[in-house]
Every structure is written in structure tokens, then in C-alpha cells.
Amino acid sequence: MRAGVIVFPGSNCDRDVIIALKTISNFKPKILWHKETEIPNLDLVVVPGGFSFGDYLRCGAIAAKSPIINSLKDHASRGGSVLGICNGFQILIETKLLPGTLITNKNLNFVCKDISLITQKTRPSPFTNGLTPGDKVNFPIAHNDGNYFCDDELTKKLHNEGQIAFKYSPNDNPNGSVDNIAGVLSENGRILGMMPHPERAIENFHSSQDGKLFFNGLIKHLLG
């Protein structure tokens, strides 16, 4: 499997993603510095979490203008898979590869805890390959601006087109996201942005190992 992880100044989950992918697939992902202008032919590119460019202006806004972003868009238009986690999700939103926007958490707190997510019935997607709709998975979250916001029209479209991959439980929405949305897919299902961190739910010393389910399904799909 050919995977790459983009690193920006301020990324801090890049190594966790690299270790998670290597542990599960046995393939070491390529590290892609944000100043590179060409992404080689890869199956998967991960935009990791962190605080790229210090979250200046708006979270992900500066990173979304980095030199590598044009080739990320090319990779996406070739049908390549893209996974954006946390700040990576914010960056994909700012690049407009994913719809809607992410605003400051409703309660103004930085939330850092384990959270239960409900897997949704989606359009065909490599990212929901290993999961059954209705399944609950536990991943950690750690963010200040994870409040997914979009108008009613877009919410309806996301539902109708099966573009919502994960939701928070209605009674445990940590950030005020519209319709408890925690993860959103692109129209072709090949781009996923999510606030929770599956790469932090792998090892025995992590509080959950549900990330294995997620990455196993993804890697199986990409290798298949």
C-alpha cells in the first residue's frame, strides 16, 4: 500500500498516523513536507492533526494555501483517497475539498476526552469499509474548533447522499456540531474529514483499540 502523510509546521499527530499505518499495514508511509509540489502516485494521503501555522487567522487557513495543496487536489481528482483528522479536517474544509465549515466549540472549551461515535450508513467509501452502520466506536477527541456548521440545505444533502460517516451520540455532542456530525465524506466517498483521532486508538496502552477496525477496513479496501 502506498500512503503519504503531509507535515506542516505545527503538525503534531503526523508520527501517530505514521506509526498507526505502519503497525497495521506493514508499509511505511511517505512523509510529505508541505513545501513539496508533487505528490507521487499514492493510494492514500493523510492530513494529520496538530496546530498548523499556529492556527493563525483561522484553523487550517494558512496550511490550505501551502504549495503541496495543489498536488493534493490533483491526487483527489485522480480518485486517490484523502483522510483529514482534526486539524487535517479543518485544512480539507479550508481547501474546499470538503463542504461546510468548522467553528469554535459551542461551550468555548478545548475538549480533550474519549468519545463514542455512531457509524453511519454511507455511500461506498474506503473509510467505512470495515465498519457496520450503527456500530459504536470509541476514539479520542482533542480540539477547540470542531463545531461542524452548515446550512439546512447542505445538511439535507449530506444525509441524502450518504456523506456523513460518523456522528456523536445525541446526548454527548462535545462541540455543538450541527446534527451531531463528527465526520464528513466527499461526494465520491474518497475524502474523509473527521475531528476524532482513530490513530490514537490502536495500541494496548491507548484507552481504545477501535482505530484498528477503522484502519484495517481502510487498508483492506486500498489493497483489495
Residues with a catalytic annotation lie at 86, 197, 199
Residue number with CB closer to other proteins (18 or 195): 195
| Residue of the chain from 57, 113, 121, 209 that contacts other proteins (CB under 8 A) | 57
58 binds other proteins (CB under 8 A): yes
Nearest CA to 173 among 201, 207, 199, 196? 196
| Binding-site member from 61, 111, 118, 142 for other proteins (CB under 8 A) | 61
- Kindly state whether residue 70 participates in binding other proteins, applying the rule CB under 8 A: no
Query: Binding other proteins by CB under 8 A: which of 25, 66, 87, 105?
Result: 105
For the bound state, the minimum distance from the C-beta of residue 58 to other proteins, rounded and expressed in Å, comes to 6
Quick note: the x/- pattern for other proteins over 136-175, rule CB under 8 A, is: -------------xx-------------------------
Task: Quote the CA–CA distance of 156 and 154 in Å, as a whole number.
Answer: 5
Residue 103 contacts other proteins per CB under 8 A: yes
Task: Report how far apart, in Å, the C-alpha atoms of 32 and of each of 11, 48, 68, 102 are.
Answer: 12, 11, 8, 25
By C-beta, is 104 or 138 nearer to other proteins? Answer: 104
Task: Single out the residue of 185, 189, 190, 193 nearest to residue 145, CA to CA.
Answer: 193
- What number of residues does the chain have? 224
Backbone angles phi, psi at 143, to 5 degrees: -160, 160
State the DSSP H helix or E strand holding residue 122, giving kind and residue range, or none if neither. Answer: none
Q: Which of 94, 145, 199, 210 binds other proteins (CB under 8 A)?
A: 94
d(CA 151, CA 41): 36
Whether 22 and 46 have beta carbons less than 8 Å apart is answered as no
CA nearest to 95, candidates 15, 169, 193 = 193
- Segment near other proteins (CB under 8 A); pick from 45-53, 79-87, 95-103, 121-129: 95-103
**CB closer to other proteins out of 57 and 112:** 57
Between 9 and 216, name the residue whose CB sits nearer to other proteins: 9
Identify which of residues 103 and 142 has a Cβ nearer to other proteins in the complex. Answer: 103
> Cα 47 vs. chain centroid, distance in angstroms?
7
Contacts with other proteins by CB under 8 A lie at: 57-58, 61-62, 65, 94, 100-101, 103-108, 149-150, 176
